[in-house]
Amino acid sequence: MSESLQALIVDLDGVVYTGGEPCPGAADGLQDARAHDVRLLFLTNNASRTPAQVAAHLGTVGVTATSEEVLTSSQVGAAHLADLRERERSEHPYDWMPTVLAVGGPGVGYALVEAGFHALHAVDVGPEGPAAPVWAVLQGFGSEVAVRDLHEAGYAINDGAHWIATNTDATLPTPRGMVPGNGALVAAVAHGTGATPVVVGKPHAEAYEMALRRLDLSAERVLAVGDRIDTDIDGARAAGLPSALVLTGVSTKAEAEQLPESERPDHVADTIPDLAHLWR
C-alpha cells in the first residue's frame, strides 16, 4: 500500500452500481484496495436506505461491506440535528427528545432514531396535525415520497421548524436513465414555503468531515472517489481531500478538463481498477 493513502471514501450510485447493475470493474477494484490494506467507507447522498440495506445491496453487486462502512446523508443530517439539539438543550428538560418529521425512505427515520430523536412520518399524522410540535424536518430521497409528505413538511416549516435537506442532487441515475432526485422534491417544498433548507450532503464539506471522523484519519491520507463533479469532487475539495473522478456515472473527462485547474479532480480514471497504482 502507498504509505500516504490509507482509505477510500467511495460514492455509490454511478461508481459502484447503477440501480441494481454493477459498474464495470468496481467490485474487483475495491477488493484489490482492501487486499492492499486500504480501508473503505461508502458515502452516499442517497438517503433512502439504512446502512444495513446499503451493505446488503453492495453484496448483490459483488462488494462485501458492513453497515459500519456505510455513511448516508440521512446520518449526516441526523448528526447535524443532534449538534443543534445540544445547542438548544438548555431551554428544555434534560431528557428532551424532539420530534423530527422524516421525509424520505426508511434510511431517514432510521438515522433520526439512531441519533436519539422521535421520528414522525406523515402517514402517522392525523387530521388535526401532529400530537407534539415538530421541532425539525429532515428531508431525503425516498421512492415512496408522496404529496402528503411534502405538505406535512410545509406545515412544519411554516410553523418554524428547522429544515435540513440531506442533499439537493437534481437527478438520480437508474438503469433506464436519469430521473428527478431529492433536489427536485426539496425545490418543491422551498417553492411552496419560501424557506431555504440547510443542506448537509455532498458537495457540502460536512458529509466528508463526518466521514473523516469515522475513519479517524486526516484528509491527506484519504482519497474521495466519485462520478459527479458537482457533488463528489466539489465536496471533497471543500473538505480538503484529494479526489478521483471515475467515468462510470454522470460526469465526463471532457467536463473535468474544461474546469479551471484548481477545480479539477486530482485523478480521472475510466474505472476504479485504473486507480490501483495509487495504493499498490
β strands within 203-266, DSSP E: 222-226, 243-246
Which residues have a Cβ under 8 Å from the Cβ of 126 and sit 6 or more positions away? none
The CA-based angle 161-164-169, given to 5 degrees, is 145
Q: Which three cell numbers stand for residue 244?
A: 478521483
Q: Report, as residue numbers or ranges, the catalytic residues.
A: 11, 13
Question: What's the full length of the chain, in residues?
Answer: 280
Helix or strand or coil: residue 225?
Answer: strand
Q: At what angle do helices 106-114 and 51-60 cross, to 10 degrees?
A: 130
Query: Looking at 2-82, which runs of residues are DSSP E strands?
Result: 7-10, 17-18, 21-22, 39-44, 70-72
Pairing of strands 39-44, 21-22: unpaired
Does residue 76 contact residue 210 with C-beta atoms inside 8 Å? yes
- Using an 8 Å Cβ cutoff, are 120 and 100 in contact? yes
CB-based contact 257:265 (threshold 8 Å) = no
**Residues 166 and 78: beta-carbon distance below 8 Å:** no
Give Cα 241 distance to the centre of its chain.
17
